[in-house]
Structure 1
């Protein structure tokens, strides 16, 4: 097995999560290739990535390009983009995916691979809200995919410049709930990076916890223009978040998920994240299409399969979608 320093690693996407991961890996001596475009590419090429986190401010030089083929075949590709951008970025990765390349989507919400290897009546089903035609699975055969649950909150303050005020944690697992050597290889990459990496043979358990965290916070943050601290401590917003939480937990239970925290602890931990602006609120402010398909629609699709109603969730998601569409129009016409 190659050591972390000799592995060929690509981070596809230069947003908040992509820059955080790329910077931390580069600081640990990993040779990182970053697939970027536009202002981010220009800034990273000229200045590297600047990351301000709990350990201070860091400058990490990385190799960046808008053409993935320049990197050659990679050992590991971390796909750090919005769910709605996957159909655009995955074709660009084709030249760098070899027979043994591991592709790790670091994407919010329900993943397109959710039903792959799950077993039971839904095994192999396509998540219609994300991949109705099955194109994502065709572009990246599922044998290449390793699941990842991202517990990193960060924000882009300028192209190639990111800040984060919380600890960094990533959890990796095989979609078919097995333990593999490639999980160990991924974990090894992060050993000296300052990002805690864990592996599990039950990836959907922490995935459901993160999906529910996204569900209770992201759409509501847009509707109320609220931080995490606001959502989980303001009496009025907290009541709404608790209702969404219980709806989400009901769906998770129907799929056999084991959530580590009880509802009270979940709310306390979420409030403890502080005045963090969700990624969806950041996108709203910029007039970027909101990540509601993966965070909201796909979650409710899973609920429908189990005949579970999510009335509060549906209302909040609908309001967030309307506001997001109006904001996009405002930015275009500005």
Structure 2
């Protein structure tokens, strides 16, 4: 079984190192200094206080790797559509595309059933590049929970978490989902196959939708923005608007808004990914995390006044920083 991880940054590097250490036939697509460092000395994983150098197969040329059984995409959401053409040499007749990307996935309405079946989302798949370039029947959903960071080229530090929830768009426990789950489990990761992966997508999205833009606008860490009365109220309103959308789409939330916000506060003085991107001068994931929910509000005829306001502010902040649009 051949597995390729396309986008071997923090999460992709962590996943690749775990699979390679377990003996899987895994390759990584990377670029720049990170690629050069991994070619020279392998991929170094720092986990539980242990520093381990793992030999990995790495390239910046997908054509050199050839068709794969699984291509696990761990790029930032806005980086995927421009990469679809470059990924084509990895895709054979039976290749599965595993979408490990934050936010609302481009395949969300594939095999969902009902009147919205097959609806395309311009905010996350402009011009239908992924829908047409990958094909929705290839996709296997994935909700990524671990936190990791690239501390220097070729070195990834694992922070917390080891769960990669998998799910078919139609909710079935397919052979391809179970096979990948077994491979990930063999690498010491948790990889449950969920019949209702969209429910998990929304619980994670609740936090990403609200905490990320609020933190980027205020430069507050999670513990502060989740306990300050003003920003907590803004986050709550955004989450309630998102919940109204999701429930119209058949989603069930296992916890309530207050508990979700309390969970964010419990993480402590964490700087969200959007705040980190802003500070580092990297493009910001505004469309996948926020604009996509606004688009779903329009599709389901659900008002989103707070989301609209925060989106307008963070989009302008991103544009003025040259990191969005």
Alignment counterpart, residue 294 of structure 2, candidates 279, 288, 300: 300
SS of the residue corresponding to residue 134 of structure 1 reads helix
CA contact (8 A) 1:43 1:159 kept: yes
Alignment counterpart, residue 137 of structure 1, candidates 118, 131, 144: 131
| Pairing of 1:33-182 with structure 2 (within 5 A) | 33-54=27-48, 56-182=50-176
1:254 and 1:68 mapped to 2: Cα distance?
A: 40
Alignment counterpart, residue 250 of structure 1, candidates 244, 247, 250: 244
| Pairing of 1:198-213 with structure 2 (within 5 A) | 198-213=192-207
SS of the residue corresponding to residue 122 of structure 1 reads coil
Alignment counterpart, residue 222 of structure 2, candidates 218, 224, 228: 228
Query: Match of 1:14?
Result: 8
1:276 and 1:46 mapped to 2: Cα distance?
A: 32
Q: Structure 1 residues 227, 157: CA separation in 2 closer, same or farther (over 3 Å shift)?
A: farther
2:88 and 2:73 mapped to 1: Cα distance?
A: 13
Shift of 1:104: 0.4
Instruction: Provide, for residues 18-63 of structure 1, a one-character-per-residue CA deviation record: whole Å limited to 9, x for no partner.
Output: 1121112122222320001112211211222223334643322211
Shift of 1:307: 1.7
- Extract unaligned runs of 5+ from structure 1: 1-6, 330-334
CA contact (8 A) 1:155 1:279 kept: no
- Extract unaligned runs of 5+ from structure 2: none
CA contact (8 A) 1:288 1:328 kept: no
Aligned length: 323
2:172 and 2:157 mapped to 1: Cα distance?
A: 35
1:51 and 1:310 mapped to 2: Cα distance?
A: 42
SS of the residue corresponding to residue 198 of structure 1 reads coil
> What RMSD in Å do the two structures reach over aligned CA positions?
1.7
TM-score (norm 1): 0.91
1:300 and 1:144 mapped to 2: Cα distance?
A: 27
SS of the residue corresponding to residue 191 of structure 1 reads helix
Query: Match of 1:28?
Result: 22
Q: Structure 1 residues 238, 51: CA separation in 2 closer, same or farther (over 3 Å shift)?
A: farther
TM-score (norm 2): 0.94
1:92 and 1:224 mapped to 2: Cα distance?
A: 37
User: Is residue 2:320 matched to residue 1:326?
Assistant: yes
SS of the residue corresponding to residue 125 of structure 1 reads coil
